[in-house]
Amino acid sequence: MAQLDQIKLATVDDLAEVAKMYHEVCDHQSLDEYGADWTWGEYPSVEGLRDYIQHALIVTGWKDGRCVAAGVLTAGEDDEYRQVNWPLKATDQEIVVLHLFTVHPDYRGTGIADEMFEAVLTVARQHDFRVLHLDVLAANIPSEKLYVKHGCQVVTDLTIHYDDIGDQQARVLQYQLMN
């Protein structure tokens, strides 16, 4: 199994490499049986990734000098999730939401997704968040299995509006980072 050489929070100096990885992931989606169905240039985009670097946390995984995995953590509840009856109640200050979690196609099936998701959880704990929320498109079975394997609880199915792909059926999940 591949091991990442480095896991770190992205800085502005990493923007070009992080954007390249997301662009390649988006370009590969037509070949994927499962996926997030992102639209490069809209979500994600270079401008959006720059904003996340400046105002959120992008956890990145590196192998042989290139970014091969990433996930974005934003503080506070996502507006699309406010209607959910979460089993673990938390304030906006205690909630972190995971977005854009991915592994480059060249590195899928190597164990990097497990390593990266654990790194995302570690970073969230280090920033004193109590609960992680995320969603996965209903048809993206491998991603859902990854999250459940690591202790996420499927809470409900929900129709979520994504700016780039419209209304989609998704599952929302919750993970307790700390008591």
* All domains in the chain, ordered by first residue: 6-176 (3.40.630.30)
pLDDT of 1 above 70: no
* Helices (runs of H) and strands (runs of E) counted in the chain: 4, 7
**CA 87 from centre of chain:** 21
Residues 37-58 have pLDDT tens digits of 899 999 999 999 999 999 999 9
In the three-class reduction of DSSP (H, G, I as helix; E, B as strand; rest coil), residue 162 is classed as strand
Confidence band for 36, pLDDT divided at 50, 70 and 90: confident
- The CA distance from 37 to 39, in Å, is 7
- Beta strand 95-103 pairing with 66-75: antiparallel
- Please report which helix (H) or strand (E) contains residue 74, including its range: strand 66-75
DSSP state of 43: B
Asked if residues 95 and 73 have their Cβ atoms less than 8 Å apart, the reply is: no
- The CA distance from 84 to 157, in Å, is 9
Residues 112-152 have pLDDT tens digits of 999 999 999 999 999 999 999 999 999 899 999 999 999 99
Tell which wins on pLDDT, 106 or 37.
Answer: 106
